[in-house]
Structure 1
């Protein structure tokens, strides 16, 4: 998450940005010179690690939790370690909960990091929820505090899922869902980290959350306005449902002002349905029956972060995808469109995060300080086929964007806004959703980008 002096990731497809884009044309153009395509794979800048197996869950330190085997091993609440009161800042209610904890072994980052983003997959039946925390060791041997990376439940009746603001030790800070060094130029890095999971349930019951996957992505992406151009691979396109966020404008404004800001859940829902999953009629019963694509409203409600006041919390979207039967979701970074081509060829769409001025992405028709869309294929010329939820209708969601432009706006870490001011870019952040029992081809493709 950018610092307060930088733009929010919240999608802002405003006329003001588009109108002001001409004022930044000179610095933006100067920042994007042509690059000769290269086949050289970039140096590693990302380390993604997760705990998923029965042996993984047994390797941590358990206080009241228990590892369970099976086709999808997990972690459950066995014997409560204690009780606590939780005052939910978003409902005003204080409730008592039993809880138990699991702390992972330390994971040494193969890429000493400037940022770490945690993600998790879990089942939280009514009356249960989880909290994910992360503590990192700095390269000077000292440790961060335990930072809360999310308080999460699949539903919104017991608690309101939320990130936690104002977490910092003066050297690193949590910005919604991202732990970031305050001054990466100092040379200080995050060398390793541990995760701590706390599983909660209503006292006196036998209910339990089940956590199937927990991990984090550490990265040290160099600051840059432009990135090397990759060489196009074979043409390929996946058949993905098309949903527009714009047709939901004004619907359920309590969830980030309605559909105009729903790029992340709309993208997530497209990919959930690509894998053959969707909400049941009972789950959609709360949605106004006159609304088209009610499942998009459902996704917005159940990805909404009540502190961030938006649906763009990256781990919350991955966790939402994993609430569907036998699905997994992770947040990571990729290093080029070559990585995306590998995944798409194996049948895996890639949800990407990018910011750009109107003239930086030919054919988009808008500019944005933060937007999610899905890469679903590549043309014979190597251009990007994207399902862009900012389209005015479902029929117009499929777009073809110029490869060089798309790769640059997605992978860069620095950019100019409409006023010519330097702002941040996502540095290649993406969501990957895939079955819990992947085929060998899917598994190999994921392993090639560091996801296991």
Structure 2
């Protein structure tokens, strides 16, 4: 259920605790401390992506080539060099030839304290990709190139991994999230660019194909509570129901087994809602007789070997997009009204939240981090969720009180059982949708900046 404690979790918890007692230091720089507060934006979230043929041609490529067609993408045209890579999780060293693509600079509509990148790609066996981010601060200095992920759909060539211990003294990478170290200083990231490196064996004609690359930049205000939204929709989507607890003790090499598989279990529910699922050949590695083997599959192929968990947000989105004609992104929403728009268009949403047992009536548990799938709303506006932390598939469908849900999902600060201030996710969610969505789906995704 819980995401394992990460460097990001420890940082945000420490900053939130310090802010609560007025002890956050201004360690960023004297220049940053003197900056005026950033101007408020219409939304605290800015989504931007590159996914069209024109987008891929607009960047700066070295050896890469834009491919037109029904689903435009970026591939290796010719290698521009060869490098070796020692996989920190296997110890194996191998040579790889590569090509690169660097996006144009995107100036965010939101001077940001956090940025989360996400990508959609096909990496045939023998290939992989690296995703990096470089940004410009509001004090006119720049970040280094941060690695946001080394990723492959499979796990035979390299082990997909986040990269720890990346910081420049002003910002850090916490598993899957770029974060300004001291948001109270006023320092913000005002623009960024992303860089892709595509790898294959020397002399090979194989190539990864990247269909989508983007990021969500945000500056969500600190809050323990959020205003209540007005119910505006009664609808329930027919999303399959899977319990992570059916898999307790299975494949402990992937995040200690099913008890921690809330994220891949939620991902698998929505993948199957859209009519996709792994083939019998894909599942041949799973021990015979296990219930819902596709959930085991999702856990294995979302697993982050550095984080030692299946809860890396972009890795889950990237896994969903390995299925035919699927797109995916990590973002933040501002209210349940935004979520209602997606449900109305037929798009379920995976949300991330943390709460005490008493804060969510009917859950029966508390958690420092948990993913659920929102599939609809009752006539009273309450949230209908497929909660994977259930004893069986049949018990997965839950109804939770609207205001309780909105609070535990959208807040950025909360109190733990010991009364200490901890961080909240501030509305983080995963969205998965067909690469060629229906007009109503396209409209709502475009309104959120995702198309």
- TM normalised by structure 2 equals 0.92
Partner SS state of residue 128, structure 2: strand
Matched-pair contact (CA < 8 Å) for 2:9–2:423: no
Structure 2: distance between partners of 1:362 and 1:116: 32
Task: Identify the residue that residue 218 of structure 2 maps to in structure 1.
Answer: 219
Corresponding residue of 2:257: 258
Structure 2: gaps of 5 or more residues: 1-5, 15-19, 21-40
> Which string of whole-angstrom CA distances, capped at 9 and with x for unpartnered residues, describes residues 43-79 of structure 1?
4100000000000000000000000100100000111
Q: What is the aligned partner in structure 2 of residue 78 from structure 1?
A: 77
CA contact (8 A) 2:115 2:217 kept: yes
Structure 2 CA distance, aligned partners of 1:270 and 1:4? Answer: 30
Alpha-carbon deviation of 1:289? Answer: 1.3
Q: Which residue of 1 aligns with 2:446?
A: 447
After TM superposition, the structure 1 = structure 2 runs for residues 11-90 of structure 1, keeping only pairs within 5 Å, are: 43-90=42-89
Residue from 4, 23, 37 that aligns with 2:10: 4
Does the residue aligned with 1:399 lie in a helix, a strand or coil? Answer: strand
Say how many residue pairs are matched: 420
Deviation at 1:451, TM superposition (A): 1.3
Give SS of 1:369's match: strand
Q: How does 1:118-137 map to 2 (within 5 A)?
A: 118-137=117-136
* Separation of aligned partners in 2, 1:71 and 1:5: 43
How big is the shift at 1:7?
6.1
Are residues 1:201 and 2:200 paired? yes
Whether the aligned pair in 2 keeps the contact of 1:132 and 1:198 (CA below 8 Å) is yes
Question: How far did 1:4 drift?
Answer: 2.3
SS in 1 for 2:10: coil
Provide the rounded CA distance (Å) in 2 between the counterparts of 1:60 and 1:300: 34
Question: Are residues 1:287 and 2:286 paired?
Answer: yes
CA contact (8 A) 1:7 1:369 kept: no
**Whole-Å Cα distance in 2 between the matches of residues 433 and 400 of structure 1?**
22
Query: Could you list the runs of 4 or more consecutive aligned residues of structure 1 that deviate by over 2 angstroms after TM superposition?
Result: 1-8
Other structure's SS at 1:198 match: strand
The one-character-per-residue Cα deviations of 1:341-364 (angstroms, maximum 9, x if unpaired) are 000000000000000000000000
- TM-score w.r.t. the length of structure 1 is 0.92
2:298 aligns with 299
Matches within 5 A, 1:421-436: 421-436=420-435
Q: In structure 2, how many angstroms separate the alpha carbons of the residues matched to 1:450 and 1:383?
A: 26
Deviation readout 1:86-134 (Å, 9 max, x if unpaired)? 0000011000000000000000000110000000000000000000000
**Structure 1 residue 450, shift from structure 2 partner:** 2.1
Equivalent-residue separation in structure 2 for 1:419 and 1:203 (angstroms): 55
What's the C-alpha RMSD, in Å, of the aligned pairs?
A: 1.2
